[in-house]
């Protein structure tokens, strides 16, 4: 049990409807926290047993963390959760975890709303180019072994984006943001149904990754990619790369970019700015 005062929602019938074998069997729900990611990380550092699949959910975060040191604005109405995993995968497959999480978010959005959610490489989910969800991965490795990973998932669900000040736009990175409520013209979504389906999807894909490798998962990511085939600019820590996003590596999901000189670059991570110019 985390040292902080989360309500264990196993007692609130969550478990009886959750069809997973490990993800979410221990789920802790908080009203307001600084960051579910911080709670999950400190829990994983303090305790080693029974961690696999533990989920921390909060209604509201005051210091939500985004990628690349950015902050992540997390008002009431969104889904803010972190999942602790000790997956049996190779270190080289870690990059598939955020991809399969984003894929799972897309699957659930499509299933619950019929909205055309797409995956913007590496970890964002967009609807008509507007960001609705972001994924953050923190990991702890020892020598050649993954100790644990924490997957942080934020989804703008029942949030009126127009009412949020411009900070949220900055926190999303370089492009527009949206929420499911905005895309659905004010209609609200049942958040715990969303969480249940999300955890079920993620568990299915984690099993698939552990048992069959990444190939089928990457195939699905490619099908719903908002990045492939477009002219992109990739901003990495000390480099800016421009070219066409031509493919994703089938083993690790890295983005393959063809530069104007015909060279293929393998991109591991970074912020991708799509230009919306599609190259055939």
Instruction: Tell which positions 138-167 bind ligand BTN, by CB under 6 A.
Output: 152-154
Residue 176 CB, nearest distance to ligand BTN (Å)?
13
DSSP conformation class of 10: G
Which residue, chain included where needed, has tokens 């802790």?
A: 28
Q: Does 120 bind ligand BTN (CB under 6 A)?
A: no
Q: Given the complex with ligand BTN, which of 106 and 244 has the nearer CB atom? A: 106
Cα 155 to Cα 76: distance, rounded to the nearest angstrom = 11
By the 8 A CB rule, do 244 and 225 touch? no
Looking at the DSSP assignment, which residues form a beta bridge with residue 136?
A: 152
Q: Given the complex with ligand BTN, which of 70 and 265 has the nearer CB atom? A: 70
Q: Does 82 bind ligand BTN (CB under 6 A)?
A: yes
Q: Does 81 bind ligand BTN (CB under 6 A)?
A: yes
By the 8 A CB rule, do 264 and 253 touch? no
Q: Does 80 bind ligand BTN (CB under 6 A)?
A: yes
**Which one of 20, 36, 104, 156 is in contact with ligand BTN (CB under 6 A)?**
36
Cα 104 to Cα 113: distance, rounded to the nearest angstrom = 14
Q: Given the complex with ligand BTN, which of 6 and 64 has the nearer CB atom? A: 64
Q: Does 270 bind ligand BTN (CB under 6 A)?
A: no
By the 8 A CB rule, do 109 and 117 touch? yes
Residue 30 CB, nearest distance to ligand BTN (Å)?
11
Q: Does 61 bind ligand BTN (CB under 6 A)?
A: yes
Angle (deg, nearest 10), helices 215-223 and 96-113: 50
Q: Does 118 bind ligand BTN (CB under 6 A)?
A: no
SS3 of 52-86: CCCEEEEEEECCCECHHHCECCECCCCEEEEEEEC
In angstroms, what is the C-alpha Rg of the chain? 18
Q: Does 72 bind ligand BTN (CB under 6 A)?
A: yes
Sign, CA torsion 88/89/90/96:
negative
Q: Given the complex with ligand BTN, which of 101 and 244 has the nearer CB atom? A: 101
**Which one of 26, 67, 120, 230 is in contact with ligand BTN (CB under 6 A)?**
67
Q: Three-state DSSP class for 21?
A: coil
Residue 170 CB, nearest distance to ligand BTN (Å)?
11
CA-CA-CA-CA torsion for 94, 98, 104, 107, nearest 10 degrees? -120
Residue 154 CB, nearest distance to ligand BTN (Å)?
3
Q: Does 136 bind ligand BTN (CB under 6 A)?
A: yes
Residues at the site binding ligand BTN, with contacts judged by CB under 6 A: 35-37, 61, 64-67, 70, 72, 74, 80-82, 124, 134-136, 152-154
């Amino acid at each position: 049990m985390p040292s902080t005062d989360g309500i264990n929602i196993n007692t609130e019938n969550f478990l009886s409807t959750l069809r997973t074998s490990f993800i979410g069997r221990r789920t802790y729900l908080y009203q307001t926290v600084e960051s579910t990611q911080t709670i999950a990380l400190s829990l994983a550092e303090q305790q080693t047993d029974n961690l696999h699949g533990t989920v921390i959910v909060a209604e509201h975060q005051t210091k939500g963390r985004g990628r690349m040191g950015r902050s992540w604005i997390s008002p009431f109405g969104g889904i803010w959760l972190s999942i602790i995993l000790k997956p049996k995968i190779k270190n080289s497959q870690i990059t598939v975890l955020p991809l399969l999480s984003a894929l799972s978010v897309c699957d659930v959005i499509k299933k619950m709303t019929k909205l055309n959610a797409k995956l913007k490489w590496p970890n964002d989910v967009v609807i008509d180019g507007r960001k609705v969800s972001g994924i953050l991965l923190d990991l702890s490795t020892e020598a050649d072994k993954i100790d644990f990973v924490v997957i942080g998932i934020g989804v703008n669900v029942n949030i009126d984006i127009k009412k949020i000040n411009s900070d949220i736009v900055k926190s999303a990175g370089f492009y527009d943001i949206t929420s499911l409520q905005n895309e659905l013209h004010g209609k609200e979504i049942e958040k715990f149904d969303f969480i249940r389906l999300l955890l079920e999807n993620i568990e299915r894909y984690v099993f698939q990754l552990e048992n069959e490798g990444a190939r089928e998962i990457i195939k699905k990511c490619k099908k719903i990619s908002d990045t492939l085939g477009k002219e992109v600019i990739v901003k990495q820590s000390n480099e800016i790369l421009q070219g066409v996003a031509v493919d994703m590596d089938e083993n690790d999901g890295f983005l393959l970019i063809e530069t104007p000189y015909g060279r293929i670059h393998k991109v591991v991570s970074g912020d991708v700015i799509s230009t919306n110019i599609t190259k055939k």
